[in-house]
Structure 1
Amino acid sequence: MSGKAIISDVKTFSCSNSWRNYYFLKITSQDGLSGWAEFDQNFGSPGVEAVIKQIGHRLVGQSAMNHEHIREDLRNVTRPGQGGVVGQALGALENALLDLKAKTLDVPCYTLLGGKIRDEIRVYWSHCVSYRTRTEHFSPPITDIEGVRQIAREVGERGFTGLKTNIFEYDDNDRITNWAPGFGSVFEPGRNVERHTRQNLRRHLETMREAAGPDIDILLDLNFNARTEGYIEILREIADLDIFWVELDTLDPEAMAMIRDKSAHPIAGLETLIGLQQFLPFFRAGAVDVAILDTPWNGVWQSMKIAAAAEAYDVNVACHNFYGHLCTMMNAHFCAAVPNLRIMETDIDRISWDKDIFTHEPEFKDGHLVMPDRPGWGTEPIEEALLDHPSVEMNMYNRVPVARLRS
């Protein structure tokens, strides 16, 4: 068996996703099979592709059947810079190796993970409102409160049972803008959450609840957009509302545990962590009700280890998934196999050519993703189709700053 799936080539690809780029990794074996993974270098991670190109040659001549051996070799040669873009590059390589191994064995990837526990995975509609405020990319566009009502109604009409939204502010004409100082949409390094922001957020959530109805679960994502004080103030503002979970990011386990202790709602987070060692302090502190794992960043095999540690602390897991269809299926195989799953994130608003650049799209039925039994991840990019959508040069890292210092 070790003589199978001998790696002959490691190659990366990218194409436009209209407002950012998709990135893919292809590992080819001497048998003519290919393992694919999707990775990302838009979400605060410039340079993942460069790391892959620097270390990918070490895979050539090795067997994808021994993916744990390969990962340990790569950890050894990158140890001083572990985490960050290095960790994400290792995660991408691991995911492509899993796909290649599963295709060599002619089995779905979830078989490698212990087999599937569930045939269907409950999903929630992520970035509900925020994507459609990118009016040049998504339709129907949302510019005001009526658009918010419309998409909230649409969630249930299309058979989904949960949605996740973000922080928005409304002006005197009910037009909305996203409020995200943690990601630079406004320049406010203190990330202070003033009264008007809290009141606008409450209005936004009440508007979505009224339009969606009482049976749709509403999740709120605060990201890195506040500090401890601001998160606590937001939680006080919305304490009486019906919220499935409040998702937030902080790098301080004790601070997150204190926030959780003061919250009327379950707290989810940790999606930006890489490696079990980064997760453990949060588990020990009792910082989260749901640990969110980015399996493209960590690698699905490593993510199963993190999920097992979470289960030891009686914590459920979810996945961070706002990428392309390949990432959705990578996450789906993790969700199908992991025992302590809460729910799966997915983006329902898609760009028009998503259906053209992947061999298969995810299948949704009654608010659930239906697991396929195709070998590997069950979908892969179509190389020729990627050429029809060249990578965009203008991305999030060379936008004009939202504010400049006055001279």
Structure 2
Amino acid sequence: MKITDVQTYIAGNGWKNWVFVQVDTDEGVHGIGEATLNGFGKTVEAAIHELKPYVIGQDPFNVESHSLKMFRDVFSDGGQIQGAALSGIEFACWDIMGKVLEQPVYKLLGGKCHDSLRVYANGWYTSGPRTPDNFYHLAKQVVEKGYTALKFDPFGSSWRAVERGDFQLALDLIGAVREAVGDKVDVLVEGHNRFSVHTALRFAEKMAEYEPTWFEAPVPPQSVSSMIEVAKRSPVPIACGEDYYCKEQFAELLSHNQVHIIQLEPQFMGLTAAKQVAGMVNAFNGVTAPHSAQGPLCSIVCAHLNTATPNFFIHEIFEDFNEPWTKNILTNTVDIKDGYIQVSDRPGWGTDLNLDEISKHPYKRENFLPLFREGWEKREPVKGF
């Protein structure tokens, strides 16, 4: 079996252009992948076609070799753009392998470690004003759906330092959510790489009374020393890792033995490397909670990885809070029941692209998440692009 072509498709979701990949073979079997990256849809699409020559004419089963060549042989650090493009192609190869062998991908990764995966809701706080009362009522609705965990960013458009009023509002939002969900639900606080070390620690100390399960990405990821400083001093566990795109970055982070909730992003490094990183985390007695905030296929890929990962902690889900049409982008999506999902035993990813639905939602430059603008949390297209 040889790879004959790599095709790309973009679905213009309002808050992120979803980039999909289809890898074709000379035996009529194709596989699908995803390569979404906030704000860089067309750029990643171009990168996919620049990496395409590395796999044309090759056996899709040689996925480790493909991943290495698409990362190493370019001899440039393309960061998340290169990682996303690599992943889109590599995911599709895993899908082909599963289809040919008539096995779900998780079985190719080592088999089932978990019968079901506990999930946390994200994207649930997009409607209404940014007030404690509104967040209280929205959080109650999430729990009524059966979720036992939920995540949100209470910090508005803050960056580095925060004014007194905004500081208190963020804490009031966390308190309102905790009051709404009670003490048996996990509350996860998202930082989106916003703060200086000092500001992050001020927030960590104040939010501790609400017992959040983690404080995510409190400082920019480029400075591992800053993340370690916060992790050492924070009374709330720190989670991070979604921005990294190679094993070496995780090796440096883990070497300090301070962060033990690792949110690797398979879509920035490929599934082969993601499985290796999960093993590294396990060796440091940590747990994984992969970033799953791209598109619907990314969520399925993460679910297969999580099912085959002994030290998996919790899975991120947006599906219940996206626009209804987004569930039609794939022929099959994940099913959420009482705050858990189960991975399908259908071969490969167990799904395919619905090209008719994708064609109804073209790429738009304004479809991205502007995290440092007022109202970003509403996930509406950005005006002025």
Q: TM-score, normalised by structure 2?
A: 0.91
Cα distance in 1 for partners of 2:292, 2:158 equals 19
Summarize deviations over 1:37-75 as a string: whole Å, max 9, x none: 111132567621111111213311111011112222223
Determine if contact 1:15/1:392 at 8 Å carries over to the other structure: no
Q: Secondary structure at the match of 1:342?
A: coil
- What secondary structure is seen at the aligned counterpart in 2 of 1:57? helix
Query: In the alignment, does 2:305 pair up with 1:354?
Result: no
The one-letter code of the counterpart of 1:237 is K
Residues 146-295 of structure 1: pairs in structure 2 closer than 5 A? 146-168=133-155, 178-181=156-159, 191-248=160-217, 249-250=219-220, 251-295=222-266
Distance in 2 separating the partners of 1:253 and 1:400: 22
Cα separation, partners in 2 of 1:242 and 1:312, compared to 1, 3 Å: same
**3-state SS of 2:353 partner:** coil
SS at match of 1:61: coil
Pairwise CA distance, 1:143: 5.4
Q: Give yes or no for contact 1:355–1:361 (8 Å, CA) kept in 2.
A: yes
Over 6 Å off, 4+ runs = 397-402
Shift of 1:239: 2.3
Q: CA deviation at 1:19?
A: 3.2
Once the two structures are superposed, what CA deviation does each residue of 1:120-149 show, in whole Å capped at 9, x if it has no partner?
1000001331xx14xxxxxxx455443312
Measured after TM superposition, the shift of residue 395 of structure 1 is: 3.4
C-alpha displacement of 1:398: 10
Alignment equivalent of 1:63, drawn from 51, 59, 63: 59
What count of residue pairs does the alignment treat as equivalent?
371
**Contact map agreement 1:126 1:163 (CA 8 A) in 2:** yes
Offset of residue 252 of structure 1: 2.2
Matched, 1:20 2:10: no
Contact 2:33 2:87 in 1 (8 A): no
Residue 346 of structure 2 is aligned to residue 371 of structure 1: no
Match of 2:9, SS state, is strand
Structure 2: how far apart are the matches of 1:318 and 1:27?
A: 28
Residues 270-294 of structure 1 show CA distances to partners (whole Å, capped at 9, x for unaligned) of 1100111011111011231201111
Q: In the alignment, is residue 334 of structure 1 matched against residue 321 of structure 2? A: no
- Percent identical among aligned pairs is 28
Matched, 1:72 2:43: no
Counterpart among 352, 357, 377 of residue 385 in structure 1: 357
Q: Could you tell me whether the CA contact under 8 Å between 1:253 and 1:287 is conserved in 2?
A: no
Is residue 363–residue 369 contact of structure 1 (8 Å, CA) maintained in 2? yes
- Higher mean alpha-carbon deviation, 265-274 vs 50-59, is at 50-59
SS for the counterpart of 2:7 is: strand
Rg larger in 1 or in 2?
1
- Which letter does structure 2 place at the counterpart of 1:154? Q
SS in 2 for 1:341: coil
Alpha-carbon offset, residue 224 of structure 1: 1.2
Q: 1:154-206 deviations in whole A, cap 9, x for unaligned?
A: 121111000001124xxxxxxxxx2243xxxxxxxxx2133322211110011
Summarize the Cα distance change of 1:86–1:60 in structure 2 as closer, same or farther, 3 Å threshold.
same
CA change 1:71–1:265 in 2 (3 A) is same
Contact 2:275 2:305 in 1 (8 A): yes
RMSD of aligned C-alpha atoms? 2.1
CA distance in 2, matches of 1:220, 1:356: 30
AA of the residue aligned to 1:353:
W
1:359-406 deviation digits (Å, cap 9, x = unpaired): 01211122111111011112222112211222224334999988xxxx
Q: Does 1:84 align with 2:84?
A: no
Question: The residue matched to 2:212 in structure 1 has which SS?
Answer: coil
Tell me the secondary structure at the aligned position of residue 70 of structure 1.
helix
Aligned pair in 2 of structure 1 residues 316, 143: CA closer, same or farther (>3 Å)?
closer
Q: CA deviation at 1:233?
A: 1.0
Residue 82 of structure 1 deviates from its aligned partner by 4.6
Residues 288-317 of structure 1 deviation map (CA, whole Å, 9 limit, x = unaligned): 120111111111121000111111111111
1:29-108 equivalences under 5 Å are 29-42=25-38, 47-108=43-104
- AA matched with 2:275: M
1:8 aligns with 2:17: no
Decide whether the 8 Å contact of 2:10 with 2:362 is kept in 1. Answer: yes
**2:208 and 2:236 in contact (8 A); partners too:** yes
- Structure 1: stretches of 5+ with no match in the other structure: 134-140, 169-177, 182-190, 403-407
TM-score, normalised to structure 1's length? Answer: 0.86
Q: Structure 2: which 5+ residue stretches go unaligned?
A: 375-385
- Cα distance in 1 between the residues matched to 2:247 and 2:189: 25
